Chains A and B, each alone.
Chain A
Amino acid sequence: MKGVSDERINAPVRGPDEIFEASRLTGDATREDLESIRRRTSVYVYEAPVRVWHWVNALAITILVVTGYLIASPLPSMQIGEATDQFVMGYIRFAHFAAGVVMSVGFFGRIYWAFVGNRHAWQMFYIPIFNKRYWKEFVFELRWYFFLEEEPKKYIGHNPLAHAAMFTFITLGITFMMITGWALYAEGAGQGGVTDSLFGWVLGYVQNSQRLHTLHHLGMWAIVIFAIIHIYAAVREDVMSRQSMVSTMISGHRTFKDDRIE
């Protein structure tokens, strides 16, 4: 392999066939397998609150996208009963607002965890834009995605590209959706209410509610596009990069597939 140093983090002291007795019991462990499990390392990255938040948030966003789309382009008219006995649009809007509350509360919980959690919990909320090295690594990761690098680097938290995407689409994106969403909610809840006193200024700023709807609606598409890229990148990195991805968000542990430095 070109350009990759062959230094070992931990040089073998004993051969693999002398250890891992239990693994050898079933008879399917080859010498390579045993060598591999000895070299693999893992780091505990995502603490439980972060993992729970991730999946609750993912579910809330899925519901918000589906119901939001149906609010904008409602289902074909239904004739279940008289209008008074039928509440199709009402339930869809209810689901949207309920998921909106879950997402909003969750996001504040996540911000709290950024302060009290481990150092990785903080990563999503800032980008080291003045750090030259960050941009260098950003370009490196871009090159990896353009198939211009042979092998990616190891990252414990987000890689620089994912870091930027996470900050833009989740930290800023969700904030934008919350502000516009609650401002829309305040319109329905009525002037003088709690949501109006908290978010009424948004409509005062955008002036026309139609523009506010349009902005909130465009925001949905930004989130949809992010979700596609996010899921693809997570699976691809899981397969092609040097560390685990999908399982990390389940167990919290980032496992590494080799013990080489860089």
Chain B
Amino acid sequence: MLSQAVVKRLKEIVGEKNVVTDKVGLLTYGYDGTLLSGEALGVVSPTTTEQVVEIVKLMNEHDIKLVPRGAGTNESGGTIPSEKSVVISFTKMTKIHEIDTENFVAVVEPGVINFDLQVELAKKNFYFPPDPSSFKASTIGGNLGECSGGPKCFKYGVTRDYMLGLEVVLPNGKVIQTGGRNFQSEPGYDLTRIIVGSEGILGLVTKVFVRILPIPRAKKTMLALYDKVEDASQTVADIVAAGIIPTTLELMDNLLINTTEDFTHAGLPRDAGAVLIIEVDGYQEDMDEQVKTIGEIASKIAKEFKVAQSAAEVDQIWTSRRSAFGSVARVRPSYGVNDITVPRSNFPKAIGGVLKVAKDFGVTIGVVAHAGDGNLHPLILFDQRNKEETETVHAAEQALCMMALDLDGTISGEHGIGLVKKKYLDKEFTPAAMEAFRKIKRSFDPSNRFNPGKIIDL
């Protein structure tokens, strides 16, 4: 419980309606995209950097921790209040300060929803390349907190690559600016890069300078259907070997084809073993040649290959893919999202590994993957109310992580570590690397005030 004095002071800082302390109100902020939950002492939603500074100072005086939160869609337990803490929600900092298309920069507050930024940019024929499938709900602050990926990473990279500068409130309440509006503004160390992906444990981001790009002149979306997942991964390897860098190489297996069909009726054949969504973009005059090469490569193994002929067809394909996570909820009440990544060449082995885990543990697993990146999201379907089954699922998830590490991969390609994967972190990193993380955390936050318990313990 927060003392009356603290609550009063919080309300003075951010206004009455931006402080939540009632039980029901707190409940909502105890969850995120995972199945974990916790309870915060309170929730406070600042609207300015100055308010954030005041909140940090107040919390420091009372030795209360802060858990930063955007939309709470993360899949890592990154916003679960895990110690005596107040949630600082950025959902009311939603100003788009500036869109400067001439100079390829936008300046936004952290609570801006990715989609809302895209809509504003699209009016000017621009876009912000990072677009996690959750882009309709997730915030720029959350995207940078996790260094989110999405379907375009193979060509365009991840959130990290589009962050030019940040305004950050440090755990001591001081404000710094990292980077700026271009590639050459970092002060000695690349502070922006260490904040990106730090899941709120180093600083609170209150302003973001992002790099924006013009929408490519042309784009082609293709669909290839396969009998087996392994066949699809062969196409991926062959496309890369041909020197083509598609924007997108997304894969769904038979289970996901069926669950998304139930949901969207996009017309994917339910008996297909896998579908691959392939997209290329660039100049109009380069499209035909690439589509032709990709078509030849895919047709060697695919049972069907087609090029979307209209915007409506493209939309339909993407609706399927974007509804993938949600669609499985119809099959079983709960699902666990995994996020393992392996070097592209080990992708077929990883698929084999997932099948083996499903068999060994007797669980149902569907796979969606950013196949070009070697990033797999095996979705394990189960019923959380069944305790025994839930434990089996956790064991299976651990097995998936270890399988990825055995294939020289990583336990997280884009969702982050948070609480969920913290226990496996020392399987991926040597003691020296783990200590390097602690050195960084100690430099920013020696008293462990921001998002304690996430990623590493001090």
Is B a genuine binding partner of A?
Answer: no
Q: Which residues of A line the B interface, CB within 8 A?
A: none
